[in-house]
Structure 1
Amino acid sequence: MAAITEIPGPKGLPLLGSALDLRRDSLDVFLRARRDHGDVVRLSAGPPGARTVLHCVFSPEGVQQILASQAANFRKDNQFYEELRRSAGNGLLTAQDADYLRQRRLIQPLFTKRQVDSYATAVTLEADGTVERWRDAAGGVVDVVREMDRLALRTVSRILFGADVEAAVDVIHDNFPVVSEYVTRRGFSPVNPPRSWPLPSNRRAEAASQAVYAVCDRIIAERRAAEATAAAASAGTASAEGDDLLSLLSRASSEQDGSLDAAELRDQVLVFLVAGHETTATSMAFALHLLACHPEAQKRAHEEADRLPSGRAPSAADLDELPYLTRVLKEAMRLYPAAPVVGRRSVGAAEVDGHLIPAGADVLVLPWVTHRHPDLWDEPERFDPDRFTPEREAARHRYAWFPFGGGPRACIGQHFSMLESVLALAALLRSYELEAVDTEVPLTAGITLQATGPARVRLRARG
């Protein structure tokens, strides 16, 4: 059968297409597009002459083609990734071709299961700090979106910088939201003024980027100087090498790929600070929110966490003892995927799920929509962690659920994200019962899924 060349989609307004709807609620636009037009949909936005055309793919078969089987034809060449590169560097998230392959080969050994399991102590240390801090929560109420952002940022900072954790947290927390909003707005706008123009938005974003760069550069420089001094002092005796992720990154090398220079090292640190905390924070926050809204599921999670050995923090070895909490997390990532929209640009024309995608097309795959596809999920809006029993997972298409992407660009940190989230949630649930104050949380799609309002819960200390 010949590929369908006329891809269906909403007509939108005569002059602006779907631009206003996308600005108002892009996630709902994508859901309605699949419902009304099928699994491959064409959306146009913006005025004639500056119009963006988006080819949206919702079926798991189509997602697999774009992310895996035809990945070489669908690259990170679109406007969004270009804006992200200019604001956050050319690290593992944004690099391509030889740069990406070299970086991945150098960094992959730092994300083996054994190495990641060694980060569990930092996870539980920060989770226990959150448990203690919550004892003083005003009125016994906390916003889990804000709290999990803080917990995840402190955790990844501790893993990266060791004892220097405090140096980066406030700077990243204060400045990266400015960068994120700027990149998102420019990444999806049909027309942008040059970054060099002295506009307030350009100045704010540049100042925020430089503040983030500066703290990373300073920590890296201080660490390298300290290690050089320690190495000289201990020459011929014991090793002076540190074991935090920054130290491991700075020592990563091979005969084939050399090592990371100062700029490359900073770019990788930025990737792990930003991508490594925002995505995990989103997953943990909505897992807590969903448990607070579903007391029976929370009871099962409490019972499971309580079966862990008392008197010590959860460890990587306990992960297999928390299958229900793992299913809760996976279901939270289905309903609230941290990366709800994933973009690529086609190099050449390609057939995707029976439709012809033209060369040079902007293509989106959308976990937000595929994770709610009624052909894949019964009652897709219902919270049901048991969708992720081993038997039910094995029966589904590999790309029915893809919060970590897939193919050659799959997230290198997915095991770390799962380890951090499950262990942190277990530590929090051993200490508290949660009651939802906010049952609905307004959302928008930025670099990651963003809550635009609070997700508050009332805490009750457990014995």
Structure 2
Amino acid sequence: MQTATVPFRAPAPIPHTKPLGFAGFVWTASRNPIEIWGSRAFKEPWLRANWLSVPTIIVNDPKAIRALLVDNARNYAMQPLRQRVLRPMLRDGLLTAEGELWKRTRKSLAPVFTPRNIHALAPAMAERSRLFAEGLESLPDGRADIAFQMTLLTYDILQATLFSNDITGEPKEFAEAMELFLKRMGRVDPLDILDAPAFLPRIGRLLGQRSTNYFRGVIAGTMERRRRLMETDPQAAPNDFLTMLLKAEGLSASEIEDNIITFIGAGHETTARALGWTLYLLSQAPEEREKVEAEIDALLPGLPDPATWLDSLHHTRAAFEEAMRLYPPAPSLNRTALEADRVGDMDIPAGASVLVMPWLVHRHELLWENPLDFVPSRFLPGNRESIDRFQYLPFGVGPRVCIGSSFAMQEGVIALALLMRRLRFDYVGEKPPYPVQKITVQPRGGLPMRVSRR
């Protein structure tokens, strides 16, 4: 009789059972925000607290999430803390824009992210992933930090699909500036948590200002060179995201620049983290890895168009989606109530902070069976349909749902398929990786892995 395999339990901070206290909360939230949550946050449909005299409501119930962020979305603006952290770097990009600016930007960008345009980018995603897999195979000692390597891969894909590898300046300097920019972006300063005035300097942002200025300068130069090419020789301009953005109506040059920065910060980083966590989790669940490898070996030769892989490789996609459940790319959705509201038996006063935390919702005991375990079968056809739309939020929800979600899903499945078709990844760290929340959920110390040819 065959013994059932015990699912792998994904590493995560242990919820605390005692209050952190004021100083402990500030220190924890600035160091690793996902450590602030106590055990009740994973058991209750909603919680209420106060922070600096502001009512704070944490919402875990899917029906309430829909009521707040879809049915009455106009009543909930972006939370000031979130804006204090992200807006200095992203400025008027779609992730931080509000009001009429957000509406105009979303409308202008919608034609860029049509399924037709996303599918047209699949061959470039596949080619960069294939070449990257070949490069990993030739590592000198067969070992690498896969968390870092996945940032290189998604950067390579971004270069090919956004810029067609046509960047002004030195590519190495640009990559280094981008890496430092991403390290600084999303880092919560204690002064932000304490709602200190904006004129007080945030040291982390000051340290990253030089690289941010260089980063933005290269993007502005690349935009200008492409614009001149489109004017002088339209047929020579690549049909990539940059060209499509420059053709979009209703966006100024600075707004296009801000949105390119946002795509790099929100898109490149989030997909890289999801890929790294997926490879780690599969390395700890050999039976699940075998299912993905068998599927890739059996189906990929008969699927020449990589745009079809997302809908054909069910086990590969399920592993990717389950990794994003356990380590959500965007672990928090923070809003402020503009007017008083009532949802179910929750009274929400005007000015209250309303927090929908995918980190909590995705691991909630009322919503998932064995929520801490890596179980990709949850997302296979026949099971996926039973998951409430508002209990799985890897790309947000409502009007502000991530506009690039189709791009990210297609990129993730294509990259996984081509990496795992050729290679096997085995975790070799001395300790399990520890998740830390920045703008994404990252593994502290990286993901050291042995990479070998299958």
TM-score by length of structure 1 reads: 0.87
| Whole-Å separation in 2 of the counterparts to 1:181 and 1:388 | 29
Question: Who is 2:7 aligned against?
Answer: none
The answer to whether the aligner puts 1:189 opposite 2:193 as a matched pair is yes
Bigger shift: 363-372 or 221-230? 221-230
| Whole-Å separation in 1 of the counterparts to 2:191 and 2:158 | 26
Question: Who is 2:63 aligned against?
Answer: 61
Name the CA shift for 1:192/1:355 in 2 (closer, same or farther; >3 Å): same
Residue of structure 1 aligned with 2:400, choices 403, 409, 414: 409
Residue of structure 2 aligned with 1:39, choices 33, 45, 66: 45
Tell me how far 1:390 sits from its aligned partner: 2.8
The answer to whether the aligner puts 1:141 opposite 2:143 as a matched pair is yes
Number of aligned residues: 435
In the alignment, is the contact (CA less than 8 A) between 1:76 and 1:344 conserved in 2? yes
1:276 partner letter: G
| Whole-Å separation in 2 of the counterparts to 1:267 and 1:312 | 37
Q: With a CA cutoff of 8 Å and minimum separation of 6, indicate the structure with the bigger relative contact order.
A: 2
Tell me how far 1:241 sits from its aligned partner: 4.3
Q: Describe the superposition over 1:204-249 as per-residue Cα deviations: whole angstroms up to 9, x where unpaired.
A: 2322321221111111111112222325xxxxxxx44430111111
The answer to whether the aligner puts 1:170 opposite 2:175 as a matched pair is yes
Bigger shift: 299-308 or 51-60? 51-60
Bigger shift: 107-116 or 73-82? 73-82
TM-score by length of structure 2 reads: 0.88
Aligned-pair identity in percent equals 30
Tell me how far 1:118 sits from its aligned partner: 0.7
1:414-429 map, 5 Å: 414-429=405-420
Tell me how far 1:367 sits from its aligned partner: 0.7
Tell me how far 1:426 sits from its aligned partner: 0.2
Name the CA shift for 1:187/1:217 in 2 (closer, same or farther; >3 Å): farther
The answer to whether the aligner puts 1:26 opposite 2:33 as a matched pair is yes
RMSD in angstroms over aligned alpha carbons?
Answer: 2.6
Question: Who is 2:130 aligned against?
Answer: 128
Give the secondary-structure state (helix, strand or coil) at the position aligned to 2:152: helix
Question: Who is 1:453 aligned against?
Answer: 445
The answer to whether the aligner puts 1:252 opposite 2:243 as a matched pair is no
Residue of structure 1 aligned with 2:212, choices 209, 213, 224: 209
Give the secondary-structure state (helix, strand or coil) at the position aligned to 2:383: helix
Instruction: Show structure 2 runs of 5+ residues with no match.
Output: 1-15
Question: Who is 1:234 aligned against?
Answer: none
Q: Describe the superposition over 1:346-368 as per-residue Cα deviations: whole angstroms up to 9, x where unpaired.
A: 10111234211221112211111
Residue of structure 2 aligned with 1:308, choices 287, 291, 299: 299
1:314-333 map, 5 Å: 315-333=306-324
Tell me how far 1:171 sits from its aligned partner: 4.3
Name the CA shift for 1:336/1:200 in 2 (closer, same or farther; >3 Å): closer
Tell me how far 1:186 sits from its aligned partner: 6.0
1:238-387 map, 5 Å: 239-253=235-249, 259-310=250-301, 315-387=306-378
Give the secondary-structure state (helix, strand or coil) at the position aligned to 1:277: helix
In the alignment, is the contact (CA less than 8 A) between 1:60 and 1:400 conserved in 2? yes
Tell me how far 1:67 sits from its aligned partner: 1.8
In the alignment, is the contact (CA less than 8 A) between 2:423 and 2:451 conserved in 1? yes
Tell me how far 1:173 sits from its aligned partner: 3.1
In the alignment, is the contact (CA less than 8 A) between 1:227 and 1:240 conserved in 2? yes
1:227 partner letter: M
Give the secondary-structure state (helix, strand or coil) at the position aligned to 1:288: helix
Tell me how far 1:389 sits from its aligned partner: 2.2
Q: Describe the superposition over 1:436-456 as per-residue Cα deviations: whole angstroms up to 9, x where unpaired.
A: 213621122122212222212
